[in-house]
Amino acid sequence: MQFIYLFIGVAFAYRIAMLGVSIRNERSLRAGGAVEFGARNSKLLAGAHVAFYVAAATEGVIRQPPFDEVTLTGLALYLFGSVMLFVVARTLGRLWTVKLLIANDHVLVTSSLFKVFRHPNYFLNILPELIGYALVLHAFLTLGIGLIIYIVPLALRIREEERVMRDVFRSY
């Protein structure tokens, strides 16, 4: 089925494009003296993300699933997550990276999105994106095992981010 290959290609291209934005922002932040926290965990999280994408893609290519209700549900979740990635990156602007960096002139973002959802990048982007990606490809094994594995470094990241934000921003 051609849709599977098109979906995988578009999903990888979008993630690579957003990684480019992250790298550009990271370089700028580091040039301004930003400090990184949880570097080891950021590597684990990135590795888990890539592994999830590759595993689900492989499972989808092997399965060659039909375009059905599961696919449509997954596509809706994936699109929602992708839009939210764009929204979060746009809201954070130059501060958005896939790493946990605090700039010297870092200002706490208090938009309504961040007031309603403490970690919108994780709960409105990453989790719907991964679940949707796996469902589109009918990658149920990856979804079941991969998501459990992914949640470990994600939970560590959230805990680290909470600690850093409380230490840096008294009003957090």
Q: What is the pLDDT of residues 26-57, one digit of tens each?
A: 999 999 999 999 999 999 999 999 999 999 99
Please name which of 83, 90, 89, 97 lies closest in space to residue 22, comparing C-alpha atoms.
97
Residue 172's pLDDT is: 80
Residue 19 has pLDDT above 90, yes or no: yes
Residue type, 10: V
What's this model's pTM, rounded to 2 decimal places?
A: 0.94
Residue 23's pLDDT is: 98
As a whole number, mean pLDDT of residues 127-152 equals 97
User: What tokens appear for 146 in the block?
Assistant: 């991969």
Among 30-34, 110-114, 134-138, the range scoring the smallest mean pLDDT is 110-114
Question: What domains are defined for the chain?
Answer: 2-168 (1.20.120)
Please check whether residue 36 is in contact with residue 100, taking contact to mean a CB–CB distance below 8 angstroms. Answer: yes
Residue type, 23: I
Which band of pLDDT confidence, cut at 50, 70 and 90, is reported for residue 1?
A: low
Which band of pLDDT confidence, cut at 50, 70 and 90, is reported for residue 171?
A: confident
User: What tokens appear for 124 in the block?
Assistant: 């409105």
As a whole number, mean pLDDT of residues 102-120 equals 91
